[in-house]
Amino acid sequence: MTDVTEILTEAPSGFEERSAEQLRDHAALALTRARERSTALTDAVDDEDLVRQHSKLMSPLVWDLAHIGSQEELWLVRDVGGREPLRPDIDDLYDAFQHPRADRPSLPLLGPAEARQYVGEVRAKAFEVLEKAPLSGRRLTEAAFAFGMITQHEQQHDETMLATHQLRRGEPVLHAPAAPGRRTGSLPEEVLVPGGPFLMGTSVEPWALDNERPAHEVDVPAFFIDTTPVTNGQYFEFLDAGGYDQRRWWSDAGWEYRTAHDITAPRFWRREPGGWWRTRFGVHEPVPADQPVVHVSFYEAEAYARWAGKRLPTEAEWEKAARWDPATGQSRRYPWGNEDPKPEHANLGQVHLSPAAAGAYPAGASALGVHQLIGDVWEWTSSDFAGYPGFAAFPYREYSEVFFGPEYKVLRGGSFGTDAAAIRGTFRNWDYPIRRQIFSGFRCARDAEGV
Ligand SMILES: [Fe+2]
């Protein structure tokens, strides 16, 4: 008898075929791309704007910038490089655990010119380290992991800075071509994901973070999942049906949140005589019906799903729909296969400043025909953030482990503001269920008992 678990495999990352020189080039390119983005996000506004706190939820942009440099100094210059500290005096200022976001504006932070100079000096040293660091023999530098970790950290802060831009008032300062429209014929509403085991998480992806590890088998009963994220057009129906006023669709915590903060629609939306309008990076525009809904909290997503007669997918369901290839039993790196994201696969990297229409990325569909799992909007799942069986914190507990627990819900898949360097089929994001300044949307699922 064949044990099905023996044939579950994980697609190789392709890193194993790269020489040290290729790994260094790959890391240098990734770091440079991240810095170009950080520079664009901070150069887009004047100095006064850089030091201002645009929302209590966010840091001043100048804090994010110097914090990016501080983490890079800590890990690449001091730890990997064994070099002398550049600015040990500011370590404490940029330690995210020492100072909550609301307090950061009152700290004696580096000013814009100083912060720019500091991150430039750190980067020059980090490149010197990258030239010489052995890329094996130590887990931190194996396959250039530390450089990948710091690249992802910078890209994650870039997405946070993009969210700060969305919260900023004033004229638009960011510009990008409109996101593509639908590029498929009509799609089925749902896809059936057959029951059975699949391999979740990864043990082979070299730049995967500790919370994505290790690969482990999960038996997922059959379920249906929406082919695309829930669109604004679908969400209008929930609003029109009075969904925000009907207690029965909301969990206790969700209803308390909804009433305490008088939440009546997704964030940045307002009702105008002709329909719903939104503000997007300073632009006022009608809410487009064909794009996935964005800026909703977990509680709103959960209420919509209940109203629609469905539920949110678990994290395992989301990942199985994204990675599992029924033809081979293999878990792929991405929904479309194993190659790194290309522009035709997904709406990533702030190339556009909004989600794209449902059906805009047919080349990015999963083996089962589920679309836009990567890019467009982060998707709320019903799962709490927790370590996988066999989890081991690396390289520090504060990366993930201290956030494990029921306060945080997992989001998957990345948004239009997530860079390709910071997303994978296994990548896990987490946030409080009330958060909606992030680029968060969702798709629904439902049980398929007896199928
Ligand atoms: Fe950080």
pLDDT digits (tens, 9 = 90+) for 186-222: 999 999 999 999 999 999 999 999 999 999 999 999 9
Cβ-contact 374, 346 below 8 angstroms: yes
Which of 147, 167, 187 represents a domain boundary (last residue)?
Answer: 167
The Å distance, Cα 392 to ligand 1 centre, comes to: 20
The Å distance, Cα 224 to ligand 1 centre, comes to: 36
Whether 423 has a pLDDT exceeding 80, the answer reads yes
pLDDT-derived band at 103 (thresholds 50, 70, 90) equals confident
Whether 443 has a pLDDT exceeding 70, the answer reads yes
State both tokens at 194: 């057959």
**122 lies in some domain:** yes
Phi and psi angles of residue 367, each rounded to the nearest 5 degrees, phi first: -55, -30
More confident residue, 6 or 358: 358
Q: Are residues 119 and 218 in the same domain?
A: no
Helix (H) or strand (E) run with residue 113 in it: helix 112-132
pLDDT digits (tens, 9 = 90+) for 45-82: 999 999 999 999 999 999 999 999 999 999 999 999 99
In eight-state DSSP terms, residue 76 is I
State both tokens at 195: 């029951």
- Residue 6: the pLDDT is 54
Query: Is 424 a known ligand-binding residue?
Result: no
The CATH number that applies at residue 216 is 3.90.1580.10
- Residue 450: the pLDDT is 60
Q: Are residues 198 and 161 in the same domain?
A: no
**215 lies in some domain:** yes
The CATH number that applies at residue 39 is 1.20.120.450
Cβ-contact 293, 441 below 8 angstroms: yes
- DSSP characters over 323-371: HB-TTT-EEPSBTTBSSPP-TTT---TTSSSSPPPTTS-GGG--TT---
Phi and psi angles of residue 191, each rounded to the nearest 5 degrees, phi first: -125, 140
**101 lies in some domain:** yes
- Residue 110: the pLDDT is 95
What is the percent of the chain where pLDDT is above 90?
92
Q: Are residues 272 and 323 in the same domain?
A: yes
Q: Are residues 445 and 377 in the same domain?
A: yes
Residue that has been written with the tokens 């890079």 in this structure: 72
The Å distance, Cα 422 to ligand 1 centre, comes to: 13
Alpha carbon 154 to its chain's center: 13
- Mean pLDDT confidence for 308-326: 98
The Å distance, Cα 92 to ligand 1 centre, comes to: 13
Our CA dihedral for 119, 122, 126, 127, rounded to 10 degrees, sits at 70
- Mean pLDDT confidence for 148-160: 98
In eight-state DSSP terms, residue 383 is E
- Residue 448: the pLDDT is 96
- Residue 2: the pLDDT is 43
Q: Are residues 150 and 197 in the same domain?
A: no
Phi and psi angles of residue 109, each rounded to the nearest 5 degrees, phi first: -75, 160
Q: Are residues 319 and 424 in the same domain?
A: yes
**10 lies in some domain:** no
- In the chain, the amino acid numbered 85 is P
Q: Are residues 150 and 225 in the same domain?
A: no
Query: Is 435 a known ligand-binding residue?
Result: yes
What is the percent of the chain where pLDDT is above 70?
98
pLDDT digits (tens, 9 = 90+) for 350-385: 999 999 999 999 999 999 999 999 999 999 999 999
Q: How many domains does the chain have?
A: 2
**284 lies in some domain:** yes
pLDDT digits (tens, 9 = 90+) for 371-421: 999 999 999 999 999 999 999 999 999 999 999 999 999 999 999 999 999
**6 lies in some domain:** no
- Residue 250: the pLDDT is 98
Whether 7 has a pLDDT exceeding 80, the answer reads no
pLDDT-derived band at 96 (thresholds 50, 70, 90) equals confident
The Å distance, Cα 5 to ligand 1 centre, comes to: 38
Distance CA(311)–CA(443), nearest Å, equals: 9
Distance CA(310)–CA(305), nearest Å, equals: 5
- Residue 5: the pLDDT is 46
- Residue 451: the pLDDT is 55
More confident residue, 1 or 93: 93
pLDDT-derived band at 104 (thresholds 50, 70, 90) equals confident
- Residue 3: the pLDDT is 47
Task: Give residue 269's domain range.
Answer: 179-451
Q: What is the SS3 assignment for 74? A: helix
Residue 282, C-beta contacts closer than 8 angstroms, at least 6 positions apart: 168, 169, 170, 171, 172, 173, 174
Residue that has been written with the tokens 């996000």 in this structure: 41
Q: Are residues 39 and 107 in the same domain?
A: yes
The Å distance, Cα 312 to ligand 1 centre, comes to: 29
Query: Is 157 a known ligand-binding residue?
Result: yes
As beta bridge partners, residue 278 has 269, 285
Q: Are residues 135 and 88 in the same domain?
A: yes
Query: Is 153 a known ligand-binding residue?
Result: yes
Q: What is the mean pLDDT of the chain?
A: 96
- In the chain, the amino acid numbered 138 is R
- Mean pLDDT confidence for 93-117: 91
Q: Are residues 144 and 272 in the same domain?
A: no
- Mean pLDDT confidence for 32-36: 98
- Residue 102: the pLDDT is 84
In eight-state DSSP terms, residue 420 is G
- List the Cα angle 144/147/149 in 5-degree steps: 110
pLDDT digits (tens, 9 = 90+) for 155-191: 999 999 999 999 999 999 999 999 999 999 999 999 9
Query: Is 104 a known ligand-binding residue?
Result: yes
- Mean pLDDT confidence for 329-352: 98
Distance CA(42)–CA(50), nearest Å, equals: 7
